[in-house]
Amino acid sequence: MEIKLLEHNKKQNKASFVVKGTTAAYMNTLRKYVLERVPTLAIEDVEFRENSSILYDEVIAHRLGLIPLRTDLKSYSLRETCKCKGEGCARCTVQLTLEGKGPGTVYASDLKSKDSHVKPIHPGTPVVKLLKGQEIELEAKAVLGQGKDHSKWSPGLAYYRHKPIIEVKSQPADPKKLADMYPEKVLEVKNGKITVNEENALKCATYDVFEGIPHLTIKQAEDEFIFTIESWGQLDCDEIMTAAVDIFQQDLEQFAQGLKKA
Ligand SMILES: [Zn+2]
């Protein structure tokens, strides 16, 4: 299997790479491990001390659960595998508090975390609007969880597609006109002839638009894939991929041990 990094945009939290010598089943397994098994921190329990806002406690608790929190996988473990046996301790649970008085809007940035590394990725997310005299005060617990239990714990989006093979079959009468029709610069004019820019073809998300052009043939590589990962921000793309592969490996080891015993 060969892996080549196509792009890693840290600003957009997005990475994609080309994998050669594998199957769609393998790519899909990796995709599922990213979505469902790589843990992140999210608020799970909320205890209200005061809530005179227009929103019910449940609605606010739900909104808090959906706020992505920066996650450090080295410092935290899943509750079910934690030494505290799920009771909740500093290794599996982060305490956060939220207080606000109207008039005004309470934002994600108003959440005060006991661990300064665990904080909302998008501080400007509104939680609730308060009118004059309205008040909110609560204590929340964030825990590590997995996307298989609730999508709030999913670290991002992962998807793959077959690598496109675009070939020039015949030259058009006006190569420049054809090249200019497609802004992704997949088609280029070199020495008066239309050519395919391989690099741009790999990055182009909508290469099927080239299917209707009579001068080109579009095929899909059978054993080559473009795997893309878009992080919601709790973890970096490389952290997500490393964790996904580690968990996959642990599962396989457990399976192998189980087989030996069976
Ligand atoms: Zn614990």
Q: Which of 153, 180, 207 is the last residue of a domain?
A: 153
What's the CA gap between 37 and 16, in Å, rounded? 20
Structural domain contains residue 218 = yes
Cα 93 to averaged position of ligand 1 atoms, centre (Å): 6
Cα 119 to averaged position of ligand 1 atoms, centre (Å): 19
Q: How many CB atoms lie within 10 A of CB 187?
A: 25
- Mutual angle of helices 237-261 and 24-36, in 10-degree steps: 110
- CB atoms within 5 A of ion ligand 1 belong to 82, 84, 89, 91-92
Q: Tens place of pLDDT for every residue, the chain, 262 residues?
A: 999 999 999 999 999 999 999 999 999 999 999 999 999 999 999 999 999 999 999 999 999 999 999 999 999 999 988 999 888 899 999 999 999 998 999 999 999 999 999 999 999 999 999 999 999 999 999 999 999 999 999 999 999 999 988 888 889 888 888 888 877 788 889 988 989 988 888 887 777 777 778 888 888 899 999 999 999 999 999 999 999 999 999 999 999 999 999 8
Structural domain contains residue 109 = yes
Identify the pLDDT of residue 109: 97
Identify the pLDDT of residue 215: 87
What's the CA gap between 52 and 145, in Å, rounded? 30
Identify the pLDDT of residue 247: 96
135 and 187: one domain?
no
Identify the pLDDT of residue 138: 98
Which three-class secondary structure state does DSSP give residue 91?
A: coil
Cα 91 to averaged position of ligand 1 atoms, centre (Å): 5
45 and 145: one domain?
yes
Identify the pLDDT of residue 198: 85
Alpha-carbon distance values, 35 to 48, 146, 156, 176 (Å): 31, 8, 7, 42
Structural domain contains residue 185 = yes
What's the CA gap between 242 and 26, in Å, rounded? 16
Cα 215 to averaged position of ligand 1 atoms, centre (Å): 62
Cα 75 to averaged position of ligand 1 atoms, centre (Å): 11
Cα 76 to averaged position of ligand 1 atoms, centre (Å): 8
Identify the pLDDT of residue 204: 79
Structural domain contains residue 246 = no
Contact (Cβ atoms closer than 8 angstroms) between residue 128 and residue 105: yes
Q: Which of 110, 130, 153 is the last residue of a domain?
A: 153
Q: Which of 137, 153, 169 is the last residue of a domain?
A: 153
